[in-house]
Amino acid sequence: MDNIGAKVYVGMSGGVDSSLTAALLKERGYHVTGVYMKNWTQDLPGMKCPWAEDLADAKRVAVQLGIDFKVFDFETEYREKVVQYMIDEYSAGRTPNPDIMCNQEVKFKLFLEAALEDGADMIATGHYAGTKNGELLRAKDDNKDQTYFLYRVRGEALEKTLLPLGEFTKPEVRTMAEARNLFTASKKDSQGICFVGRIGIRDFLKQFIPEQKPGKIINQQTGEAVGYHDGAIFYTLGQRHGLNIGGGLPFYVCGKNMDKNEVYVTTNLNNGELWTREVELSAVHWINQPADTTKSYQIRVRHRAPLIESRIEFDGDNLTLKLSDEQRAVTPGQSVVIYDGQVCLGGGIVI
């Protein structure tokens, strides 16, 4: 897409990826404005939210590059659309992905709308993905590819989006940032929950949900209680760590019953509850056109999972995937994303 000279608002998070994105687009002749999205500012016990530091870093890079800089405040909408969604899903016993909802509701909806209203022609982000004519394309760096998190973006939004990092690997991005002496060149990537920083999901949820009742952890193979949990919502299919069950072979979560407040575990990695060749998806989203049931596609059951072949069948508003190979721990609430070669078509949420 040749829009040199266009006004581009770059979402700048204070990290190296979005910093280099702004630098590259300026060098390519775009009129660049940096925008920090203020989505979350609340400190949590033992965890200071890094938003002020990230904002300062983004500002420093904008000054370095000599570009305008703005702050868009989406905190209210973010709490309603992303945080509450995450809390509701966990409370129902599912395992959601807040990064996907953030991209759908905030970065490629609220941010895009606010930027266009403010005079921008396009937006840009530091995601590792590509876009061409409204299609979402896998990144050059397969390890960093973020199309899994972007599958719920609309094609109309991608037509007004630039994603320059899709053609580079992460080491190349670091090298290019260092060559430009960007302030954030050596800043570590953020970890933990997308909007809070280095805090575990359990610690986060405990601040926003009623205190959970302890319950039994039951060995599905014997029917015996082998331990106790502090809330079934904190456990997810396939989980091994954090069960506090001592001795012998490792246990894996193979199911849970929210009504009985029970978590089921097994030492058998071949347990039928852990593996599936058929996955049903709800809340199906297509970036542009729906997939063709006469073709075979590639699907990814989680970020960085290998691509595997699958056929698809429509069942009303839902979708059934017939996988070529069994997949482990395909978890309700998580997303499965569908690809046609390099093109990300869309996906849905596991029922």
Residues recognised as catalytic: 102, 194
Contact 106/81 with Cβ under 8 angstroms?
A: yes
End-to-end CA distance of the chain: 38
| Ordered DSSP codes for 298-335 | EEESSTTPPPEEEEEEEETTEEEEEEEEEEE---TTSE
Structure tokens at 176: 């290019």
Contact 44/68 with Cβ under 8 angstroms?
A: no
Strand order, beta sheet including 252-257 = 225-229, 215-219, 262-266, 252-257
The DSSP 8-state label assigned to residue 106 in this structure reads I
The DSSP 8-state label assigned to residue 200 in this structure reads -
The Cα–Cα gap between 198 and 209 comes to 20
The Cα–Cα gap between 274 and 248 comes to 20
The Cα–Cα gap between 120 and 188 comes to 30
Structure tokens at 296: 């075979």
- Other Cβ atoms less than 10 A from the Cβ of 306: the count is 10
**What's the helix, strand, coil split of the chain in %, to 5?**
30, 30, 40
Contact 331/238 with Cβ under 8 angstroms?
A: yes
Phi, psi (rounded to 5 degrees) for 209: -125, 155
